[in-house]
Amino acid sequence: MKRFNAFLIPAWGTILLLTSLASAAQTGGANGPVAISVQPEVIVKDALPACPIGVSENLFYSSDKHYPNRRHSQAETLRMLGGKTIRGMEGNIGDFIIWSMPPFAGPNPHLTCYQPGRGYFNDFYNADGTLRKAMDFGEYIATGQAAGVNDFFYIIGIDAINAEPGEWQWIIPKPLETITAGAGAQARWCQERGLRIWFEIGNENDLNDGDKMKLRKWVPEHYASVTVQISRAIKAAYPQAKVGINGGFATNWFDQVIPKVWQDIDFVVAHAYSPTGKGGIWRANTSLDRASIPDRCKQEWPICVTETSSYRPGNPVNNDLEEATRNFIRMGINLCEPRVKYMHFWTDRAADCAKMSGKNMFTIDGDLLPMGKVLAIWNEHLKSQMVKVETGDKEIFAFATRNPQTRALTLFLANQGKSAREVTVKINGSQKTLLAKNWTFTGTALHDRNPRWEKLPDVEVRAGSFARDLSPLGFTMVDLPAY
């Protein structure tokens, strides 16, 4: 077993079962047993990468150099999380940072521009644009490698190109040219080290909150031309680097951008927030399906959800059993999306980390918070296939993943109602009678800030069937060595 502080993760072969929203059909009364059908031979999604959930790091709180006294190093915490991918530069602020200043001798991040007196940036930079207490790109890569990360995501910040004259002060000369040259140099640095690097061109540029940010609004044509220029500089330096476009907020953004950039990109970025917020993913999928581009692009391009959680922007979210369970479900919904490949929880350590906000995965000392614990479970137990699940009640969630070689099957069942419910599970095609391992992620109340992962008595499965009582606190895992 793996031990994450006092938090245990079992190390068995698995298939996950959490919720199949798309095929839910009401089959019982509100208080009667809920029938769940698992169809392990019906593949919903194949070839999932191992441990595909990482974190969008807030690099102003992640550096071991600047926080040397924390209980766990950043690499140790990332190992607890178990993901094989991470994302750099947090999000919005990453759109105002360049990895190095000319002549780009090595990693040394700077602001590209700033608004004098604007509080959002004031805590993070000095008068010359150097960043305070930030993890630079070299440390970001080294820390990830020490944690076993394979795929690194990083934002090429472009908002300085559209900074409103008079509202912003530029630190770099000729923003487009300098950012393009910097991206090429950064790609060359990665090529020399053989890194698997995924560059996002900007962050949420189609959100167009220009009035609040005092930026000239990005329009699809301009964003596309900037993307092509930067991508070609990256590819000239490192042909194996991946370049992606972001979007999903504006309804027709991807429809207008994709036809202009398809020859120069490799993936699409979408962000998904709240327990059921799939709008960005849906828009990316829809635009790809109807785009007039070669079929190979539609088939090969993944969607990478570089920001996602049950956090609802503008609303406080606790980091407790209730919200962690919603976050677990949020990730399961994303994992069932056909094109989604990698995901990154937003974020590791926000500015209010001491308050245990739902925006945070770790404490300042590097311990996993409830939000992080449930993602460690996904990374530990997700196998290469998601399979079909049907559940008979909208409050009972279920997802399924399996190992096709060993036929291992693990079921995760979550009750989002207010009272305990009985479920009956039938694994179609199975006639085996066996004992299955049984674990639960639970606590003393919905707002328990220290939920635990507990071993329960084994579950007897007869001819592929069993029954369980589900508490509304957390979720249950039933692990079968083979179905």
How high is the pLDDT of residue 3?
A: 32
How high is the pLDDT of residue 349?
A: 80
Confidence of residue 148 (pLDDT cuts 50, 70, 90): very high
Quote the CA–CA distance of 22 and 398 in Å, as a whole number.
11
Share of the chain above pLDDT 70, in %: 90
- Region 96-122: mean pLDDT is 88
Smallest CA-to-CA distance from 477 within 14, 130, 112 is with 14
Q: Strand, coil or helix: what is 446?
A: coil
Report CA-CA distances (Å) from 236 to 200, 262, 371, 406: 17, 17, 40, 43
pLDDT at 475 over 60: yes
User: Hey, what amino acid is at 44?
Assistant: V
pLDDT single digits (tens) 23-66: 333 334 456 899 999 999 999 999 999 999 999 999 888 999 99
User: Hey, what amino acid is at 200?
Assistant: E
pLDDT at 13 over 50: no
Quote the CA–CA distance of 390 and 26 in Å, as a whole number.
10
pLDDT at 313 over 90: no
pLDDT single digits (tens) 87-100: 998 888 899 999 99
Smallest CA-to-CA distance from 91 within 135, 56, 141 is with 56
Half-sphere exposure of 246 (CA within 13 A, CB side): 27
pLDDT at 11 over 60: no
Length of the chain: 483
How high is the pLDDT of residue 351?
A: 60
Which residue reads 């031979």 in tokens? 41
Which stretches does DSSP call E strand in 321-403? 340-346, 385-391, 396-403
pLDDT single digits (tens) 405-415: 999 998 999 99
Alpha helices in 156-278 (DSSP H): 175-192, 210-213, 220-237, 253-261
Cβ-Cβ contacts under 8 Å for 233 (sequence gap 6 or more)? 180, 181, 183, 184, 187
Quote the CA–CA distance of 477 and 464 in Å, as a whole number.
16
How high is the pLDDT of residue 201?
A: 98
Peptide bond into 440 cis (omega under 30): no
- Region 120-126: mean pLDDT is 79
- Region 119-138: mean pLDDT is 86
pLDDT at 177 over 50: yes
Cβ-Cβ contacts under 8 Å for 380 (sequence gap 6 or more)? 2, 9, 10, 11, 14, 82
Average pLDDT, rounded, for the chain: 90
How high is the pLDDT of residue 19?
A: 38
- Answer yes or no: are the C-beta atoms of 308 and 342 closer than 8 Å: no
- Region 476-482: mean pLDDT is 94
pLDDT single digits (tens) 338-377: 999 999 999 988 765 666 788 899 988 899 999 999 999 9
Cβ burial of 230 (10 Å; 0-12, 13-18, 19+) is buried
pLDDT single digits (tens) 327-345: 999 999 999 999 999 999 9
Alpha helices in 351-405 (DSSP H): 370-381
- Answer yes or no: are the C-beta atoms of 231 and 179 closer than 8 Å: no
How high is the pLDDT of residue 214?
A: 80
Peptide bond into 116 cis (omega under 30): no
Cβ-Cβ contacts under 8 Å for 297 (sequence gap 6 or more)? 262, 288, 291
How high is the pLDDT of residue 352?
A: 59
Smallest CA-to-CA distance from 373 within 395, 345, 337, 394 is with 345
pLDDT single digits (tens) 228-274: 999 999 999 999 999 999 998 998 999 999 999 999 999 999 999 87
